[in-house]
Structure 1
Amino acid sequence: MSGAVATSQLRTGEVPKRPRFRGYLHTFTVAAAIPACVFLIIAARPAAARVGAAIYGASVLALFGTSASYHRLAHTVRSRQIMRRLDHSMIFVLIAGTYTPICLLALPRAWGIPVLCVVWTGAVLGVVLKTAAFDRFPLLRHALYPILGWTAIVAMPVLYQRLSTAQFVFMIAGGAMYTLGIPVLLRKRPDPWPMTFGYHEVWHTFTVVAGVCHFVLIGLLVVAAT
């Protein structure tokens, strides 16, 4: 649930009715991600790859687990208010978590460390804004997602040189899927079956496809580092 309508409903104490399939995509995704992330961490060598895989895996489970809990288990006004803030905050965590193995494994230290510091600083700022000032600075809060997500643009020439074709394609494809999903969420269109599978489910579909692309990317990086 997102947008001004949902916010006003929560403020007035009304619990908005959700489409029937709300949250199912992320529930299935986190169920599949648990063994996949565990396998990725176990398979990772050397230490830098394992650390990167562990941080990335934790961020994946945090995002999809929180989203599934928010959309499937939060049934009261208070629980939805709390979980909504956490849900939005975890997007920043996933962005930074995804960048971590890329910076550790794909970029030289001269690039990787500065990019990693910038991304995690931005993620912390985003989490603070989402949790402590949810209804303030809306433009900044929303703009931070794509800005943080596309921080890699500054290092794109280096990444293009150091990544394989498959790695580069999956990196760009994942970022594109996340970005293309944003207008769906903001415009609330397309909204094919509002009572069962609405615009928010379309948005979740984009995030799942993007997540799969980036999981393949990280997997390829781990394999290359082993």
Structure 2
Amino acid sequence: MTDAAASAATPGPAALDPAAAPVKPRMRGWLHAGMFPAVLISGITLIALTDSTTGRIACTVYVLSACLLFGVSAVYHRGTWGPRGEAVLRRLDHANIFLIIAGTYTPLTLLLLPGSTARPLLWAVWVAAAAGIAFRVLWVGAPRWLYTPCYIAMGWAAVFFLPDFMRTGGIAVLVLVIVGGLLYSAGGVIYGIKKPNPSPRWFGFHEVFHSLTLAAFVTHYVGISLVAYQHG
């Protein structure tokens, strides 16, 4: 096989995501790159200020999932990768979304719910995350209309437990959890429909999506911090 034929036979970024390949806005990845050290420092602070062993373990899971989300995303979106590197990093980037959802649930569930309720919910969330990770790793080219709703649905899986969150954590925690969820969901919708796309050259729809994930993470971080300091 000639080099030209081999190159033609190897799927590139356009084959993985045709809509994303033609234009890469100059701000792509910078938001998550800047967020990574902030997440690391604030995460270590959260863990250090949590008193109980359960709280520290739960917050460690949360912080690690956040570091993976923002760190891998920054590497993936800032770099220029060949077909293989693109495929591997894309798999990791998308799998980490399921990971951050389960990671966020972990401290909220363990610190706000009684053990008889927390254990089955946490098992369900992490099994769903494992299934979602396998789905994105094994089918990296799945259409957005299929996998984006999976993220949103999993994010709201504990909606029926929100009254329990409020009873234990208070109204402020409930509001922060809901607002963070709405921000994540809005970002997911924008990612799915690829609109609005304000400046394809500098700040496109993907950057709007990343901005909302930052706002959602900060909102949830504040809520989890309140929970950890009060109940951890």
With structure 2 as the length reference, what TM-score do the two structures score?
0.88
Q: Hey, what's the Cα distance between the residues in 1 that align with 2:31 and 2:25?
A: 12
Query: Does 1:167 find its partner at 2:210?
Result: no
Residue 143 of structure 1: how far off its partner (Å)? 2.7
In the alignment, is the contact (CA less than 8 A) between 1:74 and 1:83 conserved in 2?
no
SS in 1 for 2:227: helix
Letter in 2 for 1:198: G
Letter in 2 for 1:53: C
Q: Paired residue for 1:25?
A: 31
Query: Does 1:115 find its partner at 2:121?
Result: yes
Q: Paired residue for 2:190?
A: 184
In the alignment, is the contact (CA less than 8 A) between 2:13 and 2:21 conserved in 1?
no
Q: Paired residue for 2:95?
A: 89
Q: Hey, what's the Cα distance between the residues in 2 that align with 1:42 and 1:15?
A: 42
Residue 33 of structure 1: how far off its partner (Å)? 0.7
Listed as ranges, the gaps of 5+ residues in structure 1 are 1-5
Q: Which is higher, the Rg of structure 1 or of structure 2?
A: 2
Deviates more, 1:191-200 or 1:143-152: 143-152
1:73-222 aligned at under 5 Å gives the runs 73-136=79-142, 141-222=147-228
Q: Hey, what's the Cα distance between the residues in 1 that align with 2:191 and 2:143?
A: 18
Q: Hey, what's the Cα distance between the residues in 2 that align with 1:114 and 1:180?
A: 28
> What RMSD in Å do the two structures reach over aligned CA positions?
2.0
Q: Hey, what's the Cα distance between the residues in 1 that align with 2:146 and 2:205?
A: 23
Residues 76/202 of structure 1: CA separation in 2 closer, same or farther (3 Å cut)? same
Deviations 1:132-160 (A, max 9, x none): 12235866533321111001112122223
Q: Paired residue for 1:48?
A: 54
Q: Hey, what's the Cα distance between the residues in 2 that align with 1:19 and 1:158?
A: 43
Q: Hey, what's the Cα distance between the residues in 2 that align with 1:222 and 1:167?
A: 11
Q: How many residues align?
A: 220
Q: Hey, what's the Cα distance between the residues in 1 that align with 2:63 and 2:161?
A: 23
Letter in 2 for 1:148: M
Letter in 1 for 2:181: G
In the alignment, is the contact (CA less than 8 A) between 2:180 and 2:217 conserved in 1?
yes
Deviations 1:19-66 (A, max 9, x none): 000000000111211111111111111111101110000000010111
Letter in 2 for 1:80: E
Q: Hey, what's the Cα distance between the residues in 2 that align with 1:208 and 1:115?
A: 26
Q: Paired residue for 1:3?
A: none
Q: Hey, what's the Cα distance between the residues in 2 that align with 1:214 and 1:136?
A: 29
